[in-house]
Amino acid sequence: MFWGLILSPGLTYSQTVEDGFIITMAALGKTPKGVTDKSVDVMISVENSELLLCKLSAGQVDQQKIQIAITEGETLKLWVDGSIPVHLTGYMEPVQAIPEDDIDEDSDEFTDDDEDDDD
């Protein structure tokens, strides 16, 4: 199912995610009259970590493919640093976080067991 959001300059989109979704594209909207700064930073905050999602510049990088999965239960904020609106699109998909009980921090799953076989 389609997902989309227009980020308007000066406003922050904020929610605790009920249904997971994936953001796949960021594209510049129409540049308002009188705006001279033609670039924007698309920002994201997930669970209090602020990150630059992408940087867009009118006439140079008008859109950017991205692949960001937002999972159910996460606290999400999206905003634009700049004066041009940004259209985010993607699709809804039940993306669920892995419960902490299912994470085995002592697992050797990612180690190379063959290292000691050279003897």
56 Cβ partners below 8 Å, 6+ apart?
Answer: 26, 27, 28, 39, 40, 42, 62, 63, 64, 84, 86
Question: Does 73 have pLDDT greater than 60?
Answer: yes
**Predicted confidence band at 39 (pLDDT cuts at 50, 70, 90)?**
very high
pLDDT for the residue numbered 106: 58
Residue whose tokens read 């259209």? 87
pLDDT for the residue numbered 113: 47
pLDDT for the residue numbered 103: 60
10 Cβ partners below 8 Å, 6+ apart?
Answer: none
**Predicted confidence band at 110 (pLDDT cuts at 50, 70, 90)?**
very low
Q: Supply 107's token pair.
A: 């697992």
pLDDT for the residue numbered 23: 95
Percent of the chain with pLDDT over 90: 59
46 Cβ partners below 8 Å, 6+ apart?
Answer: 70, 74, 75, 76, 77
Question: Does 111 have pLDDT greater than 80?
Answer: no
Question: Does 44 have pLDDT greater than 80?
Answer: yes
pLDDT for the residue numbered 49: 87
Q: What mean pLDDT is reported for the chain?
A: 85
Q: Other CB atoms closer than 10 Å to residue 59's CB: what's the count?
A: 9
Q: Supply 116's token pair.
A: 């000691």
Question: Does 108 have pLDDT greater than 60?
Answer: no
